[in-house]
Each structure stands twice: as C-alpha cells, then as structure tokens.
C-alpha cells in the first residue's frame, strides 16, 4: 500500500479567541474572493483556451465526438483540482466531496432557479435531454451515497462502495455515447424558415437590429458569461456588418461578405439560435427571438450570391482570438474584486503567436491549483473554528460563495441574456460529469490503481450525508416531476424562487445537524 505523506493537520491547531469571536469573517471574505477568482479565470482564460484546443482537434480529426468530453473537463477543472487535494490529504476527503456536491446543487437547482427569476420570459427546456440527464444524475447521486455510507461504515474497504463508483462511471460513458448518437440524429438542419424576398434593387440596409452574437473564442463551450455579446448587426445586399456596440452608430467590429457564406443553419431545439457557416469552416453564432425574419432574409441573400468564396485558411487562422472583446468588469463588481482581477489580468498571458494557448493554459492552471489549495486550507480552518462538519461546510458556504459561485453568476447572466435553457442544460450536464467522473476517477486512480492507503480519521458524518444526498435527490426530483407532468418543461419566476428557498433550507439543515449531531 502506498502511504500518504502530505499532512496539513497543523492548520487545525491553536484556535484563537480572535477567530472565534469575529475573526472567522476574514476567512469567509477570502473564500468569497477566491470564488470570484475561479469564475474570472474560467470565463476569461481556461474555457477560451480549451475551446482553441477543441478547434485544433476538430481540424485534425474531422469529428466533434470528443468535444463535449473535453469541454466538460474544462468547465469542471476547479472541482477536479479540489477532489485531487481531497484525495491527497485524505483525512479531509469529505470536505472536497462536499464542495463538489455543493457545486452540483449550485449548477442544477440554484442555477435554474436564479436563471428563471432573472429571465424576462419563462425558461423552456428540451424535455428529452432534461429528463435523461436528471434521471442519470439521480442514479449517480444514489450510487455515490452508497459509497459515502460504506466509507463511513467500513473505513473505505468495502468493495461494494468501490463497485458503486465504477457503475456510476460506466453509466456516464453509456450516457455520453447515447447523447452523441441522439445529438447527431437531432442535429442542426439547413434553414427551414421560409425565404423573405428581397428586391435586387434594394439599397442600403436590408435589416438591422440588436442580436446576441457568439464569440468564436467560445464556439464549443456549453455556456459561460462572456460567450454571448449583444451587438448591432446590419445586413446589406452583399455583406453583413457587426458593430462594436448596441447601436447603429458604433464602429464596425467585423464584416462578412455574402459570397463567403455557405449556409445558414438553425437549431432544431432552441428556436432562437441560428449560425452563419462560412466556406472557411468558421461559424458565427447568433440568437434572436425574431429568428425567422433574420434567417429568411439571409437565406434569400445567400441564394442570390451564388459566387462561392471558398477561401482556404490554415489552422493558425481559425485559432486566433475573436474580435468580439470581453466586457471589462465595471461598477460595484470592479471595486469589490479589484485585487484578484488586476492580478490575473496583468499576469496571465494571452497572445496570438503559435502555441501561445499552451502558455496561457499552464499559467491559468497554476493559478487554479494555488486558489484550490488556498480554498481547501481556509475552509479547513473555518470548519475547525466554527466546529462545523467539513462536508456540510463544503456543500454550503464553500460552494455558494466559493467554488460554485461561477454557476450562480452564469445562471444570473443567462437569464438576463435570454439563454436560460442553455444554462440549465449545461448545469445538469456538468453536475452529471461531477458526480460520475470527477468524484470517481481521482479516487479510483489513487486508491485502487496506485493502492494508496485510506486514512480513517475523518469518515463522512452519516447524518450529514443523508441530508445532503437525499436533499439533493428531492430537489432534482421536483425538477423532474415538472417534466413528467407537463408536455414541455417551463421554469417561471415563482418556481425559481421556490427551489432556491428549498435549497437554502436543506443547506441550513445540514449545517445545524453537523453542529449538534456528533460523529
């Protein structure tokens, strides 16, 4: 058996009176700052870099079957790092597991609730994908609860618990294959919207308006704050002009010649998404509630411009950073998180030269590791000061204002931008990946493959496990029931408020039980 040599037990020693009577607020503030750091570095650096890697792999392999898996890794890198720390410092594994389960709650229940509450219209979700992901997520949660109980009862030596992890991972692989098959069966189709006749003698702007435009830096990403920007778009007879701001007086950001457009493609599931596909393989994603009008005009103009602009481009051309600039952090947010924003903005490189993405990724990953270690240590100290169960602290405070904050921020922005269905679907997909892969693979590698010995000093608190796991099951089941009793899944503001309040009750209940129920 491999014996673990990493020890951070001194972090829990010598609790001072200052910490007990108010000093712990400093730890909470640090967790809060680290939570935003995770969001900022993921949104601005990690996801665009992984997106570039995916673009390169698609260019080489001529397939996208591996892209969702790679992007799932990108979206869950903070959780992966936290679980690795939990496994290495295995006395405190319950803390990392609690954080990941808390992120699952933030990405599913809280994200859908916040998105619904901030959306102008009710959120409509694809029932098939939603029901599929919800049921498999529930199954994965139940399997992990059996593993957690076996870890508590049998000191981690129960083969049934390990088997539950493997079944969970196998279930995800089957789900992934089925999802890829069904995605291709229900894949995007060439425009079905009727053409809108545009007289050939038309001069000036044919159509103009505000449209959500997807940055090419996030073309393969599921959803993140900087993925979509509201920009002004002008359609002329021979070109499309995208402007830098939200009015027709803004400067030109970029333009596309009509002869360079191969087709206009719509999404069969989302009634607002359409993509302009160019001959050089690039795609310009757009969203509009008036999609039929935009697509009808584009389809007519594309057919009128028969000349094909089959411009050959190399790999370096399609991996350049997008011209759609990420918005600068402004207002209260800028001053509250001024220090971490400035540090990362001026120390993480982002260039266009060959292999610059690797440099960006390495530096960003180093930041994630440092922040993950800091969050882990500060959370342990806070748990000792407050005398709160580590897994309960992980699922509550460390998730909501810490590692899971980015899910809540993305949900809030998704509702405002009308991308609620994308954010909800993304949250459930990431939650499934967290439960069935992130919590399983590191444990399997270190304890099954490498044979590392398990330290039994800190098993799960069984009462807290019951509350956390089964509380999560109850919340997700409520979501699932909506899909079963309705012909389509619709989340309104009242529903969003209800599930967030219910989530708060379960989290507070786990904290209370962790204080008054002894291990």
pLDDT at 174 over 60: yes
Q: What is the pLDDT of residues 336-393, one digit of tens each?
A: 788 888 888 888 877 666 667 788 899 999 999 999 999 999 999 998 888 888 888 8
Pinpoint the residues of the chain covered by CATH 1.20.1420.30. 8-188+326-518
CB contact at 8 A, 297 and 314: no
Query: What's the token pair of residue 49?
Result: 């870099």
Q: Which of 102-111, 247-256, 492-501 has the lowest mean pLDDT?
A: 492-501
Among 3.90.1150.10, 3.20.190.10, 3.30.300.30, 1.20.1420.30, name the CATH number for the domain at 8-188+326-518. 1.20.1420.30
Quick one: pLDDT at residue 155?
58
Contact at 8 Å (CB) between 82 and 370? no
SS (H, E, C) 189-217: EECCCCCCCCCCCCCCCCEEEEEEEECHH
What would you measure as the largest C-alpha separation in the chain, in angstroms? 82
What stretch of H or E contains 489?
Answer: strand 489-491
- Is 266 strand, coil or helix? strand
Q: pLDDT of 260-273, one tens digit each?
A: 888 888 876 677 88
**Band of the pLDDT at 196, cuts 50, 70, 90?**
low
Kindly tell me if the per-residue pLDDT of 500 is higher than 60. Answer: yes
**What torsion do the CA atoms of 142, 147, 148, 153 make, to the nearest 10 degrees?**
130
Residue 42 has pLDDT above 90, yes or no: yes
387-441 tens-digit pLDDT: 888 888 888 889 989 999 999 999 988 888 888 888 888 888 899 999 999 999 9
Instruction: Check residue 457 and give its pLDDT.
Output: 46
Q: What pLDDT score was predicted for residue 311?
A: 58
pLDDT confidence bin for 26, thresholds 50/70/90: very high
Q: Which among 279, 272, 275 has a CA at the least distance from the CA of 264? A: 275
Q: CB under 8 Å, gap of 24 or more: what pairs does 311-319 form?
A: 311/260, 311/279, 311/280, 312/280, 313/280, 313/281, 313/282, 315/56, 315/59, 316/354, 317/280, 318/55, 318/59, 318/280, 318/281, 318/282, 319/52, 319/55, 319/56, 319/357
pLDDT of residue 341: 83
Number of neighbours of residue 476 by Cβ within 10 angstroms: 23
| Pairwise CA distance, residues 176 & 129, whole Å | 12
Comparison of pLDDT for 112 and 79, the residue scoring more: 79
**Closest alpha carbon to 81 in 381, 390, 370, 360:** 370
Q: Is the pLDDT of residue 64 over 50?
A: yes
Which of 11-25, 88-102, 503-517 shows the lowest mean pLDDT across its residues?
A: 503-517
DSSP-based three-state secondary structure for 252: strand
Using the predicted structure, report yes or no on whether residue 187 has a pLDDT greater than 60: no
Coil, helix or strand at residue 259? helix
| Confidence band, pLDDT 50/70/90 cuts, at residue 11 | low
DSSP state of 454: P
The pLDDT confidence band at residue 28, using thresholds 50, 70 and 90, is: very high
Output the CATH code of domain 207-319: 2.30.29.30
Closest by alpha carbon to 277, among 296, 301, 258, 292? Answer: 258
pLDDT on residue 366:
94
Among candidate residues 228, 213, 274, the one with its CA nearest the CA of residue 414? 228
Mean pLDDT across the chain, nearest whole number?
Answer: 80
pLDDT score for 479: 62
Confidence of residue 463 (pLDDT cuts 50, 70, 90): low
* Residue 504, pLDDT above cutoff 60: yes
Mean pLDDT of 116-133: 77
On the question of pLDDT at 114 being above 60, the answer is yes
Q: What is the pLDDT of residue 519?
A: 47
Domain with CATH 2.30.29.30 in the chain: 207-319
Best-predicted range by mean pLDDT among 60-74, 106-120, 339-353, 464-478? Answer: 60-74
Question: Do 312 and 327 meet the contact criterion of CB atoms below 8 Å apart?
Answer: no
Q: What is the mean pLDDT of residues 1-12?
A: 58
Average pLDDT over residues 440-463: 70
CB-facing half-sphere around the CA of 455: CA atoms within 13 A: 17
Looking at residues 9-36, what average pLDDT do you find? Answer: 85
Helix (H) or strand (E) holding 123: strand 123-125
Predicted local distance difference test score (pLDDT) of residue 309: 53
For residues 393 and 43, what is the distance between their CA atoms, to the nearest angstrom?
Answer: 25
Mean pLDDT of 206-220: 86
Contact 79, 434 (CB under 8 A): yes
DSSP secondary structure letter of residue 328? P
Which one is predicted more confidently, 448 or 329? Answer: 448
């Amino acid at each position: 058996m491999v014996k673990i040599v990493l020890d951070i037990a001194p972090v829990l020693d010598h609790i001072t009176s200052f910490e007990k009577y108010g000093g712990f607020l400093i730890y909470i503030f640090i967790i809060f700052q680290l939570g935003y750091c995770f969001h900022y570095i993921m949104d601005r650096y990690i996801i665009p870099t992984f997106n570039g890697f995916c673009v390169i792999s698609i260019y080489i392999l001529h397939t996208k079957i591996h892209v969702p898996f790679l992007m799932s890794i990108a979206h869950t890198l903070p959780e992966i790092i936290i679980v690795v720390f939990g496994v290495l410092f295995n006395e405190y594994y319950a803390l990392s597991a609690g954080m990941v389960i808390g992120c699952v709650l933030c990405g599913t229940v809280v994200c859908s609730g916040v998105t619904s509450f901030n959306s102008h219209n009710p959120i409509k979700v694809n029932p098939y994908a939603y029901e599929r992901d919800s049921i498999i997520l529930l199954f994965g949660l139940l399997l992990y609860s059996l593993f957690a109980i076996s870890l508590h009862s049998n000191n981690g030596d129960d083969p049934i618990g390990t088997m539950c992890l493997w079944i969970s991972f196998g279930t995800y692989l089957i789900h992934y294959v089925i999802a890829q098959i069904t995605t291709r069966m229900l894949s995007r189709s060439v425009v079905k919207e009727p053409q809108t006749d545009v007289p050939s003698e038309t001069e000036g702007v044919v159509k103009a308006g505000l449209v959500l435009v997807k940055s090419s830096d996030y073309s393969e990403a599921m959803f993140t704050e900087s993925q979509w920007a509201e920009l002004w778009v002008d359609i002329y007879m021979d070109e499309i002009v995208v402007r830098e701001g939200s009015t027709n007086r803004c400067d030109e950001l970029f333009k596309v010649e009509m002869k360079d457009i191969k087709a206009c493609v719509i999404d069969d599931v989302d009634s607002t998404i359409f993509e302009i596909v160019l001959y050089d393989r690039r795609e310009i994603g757009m969203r509009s509630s008036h999609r039929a009008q935009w697509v009808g005009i584009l389809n007519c103009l594309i057919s009128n411009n028969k000349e094909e602009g089959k411009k050959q481009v190399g790999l370096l051309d399609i991996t350049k950073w997008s011209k759609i600039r990420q918005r600068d952090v402004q207002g209260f947010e800028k001053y509250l998180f001024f220090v971490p924003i400035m540090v990362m903005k001026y120390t993480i490189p982002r260039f266009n030269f060959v292999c610059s993405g690797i440099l960006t990724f390495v530096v960003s990953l180093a930041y994630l590791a440092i922040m993950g270690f800091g969050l882990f240590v500060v959370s342990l100290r806070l748990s000792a000061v407050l005398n709160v169960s580590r897994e309960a602290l992980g699922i509550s405070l460390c998730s909501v204002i810490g590692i899971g904050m980015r899910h809540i921020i993305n949900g809030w922005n998704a509702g405002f931008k009308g991308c609620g269905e994308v954010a909800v679907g993304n949250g459930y997909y990431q939650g499934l990946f967290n439960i069935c892969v992130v919590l399983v693979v590191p444990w399997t590698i270190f304890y099954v493959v490498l044979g590392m010995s398990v330290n039994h000093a800190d098993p799960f608190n069984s009462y807290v496990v019951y509350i956390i796991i089964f509380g999560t099951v109850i919340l997700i089941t409520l979501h699932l029931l909506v899909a079963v009793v309705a012909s389509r899944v619709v989340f309104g503001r009242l529903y969003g408020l209800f599930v967030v309040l219910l989530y708060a009750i379960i989290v507070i209940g786990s904290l209370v039980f962790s204080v008054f129920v002894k291990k």
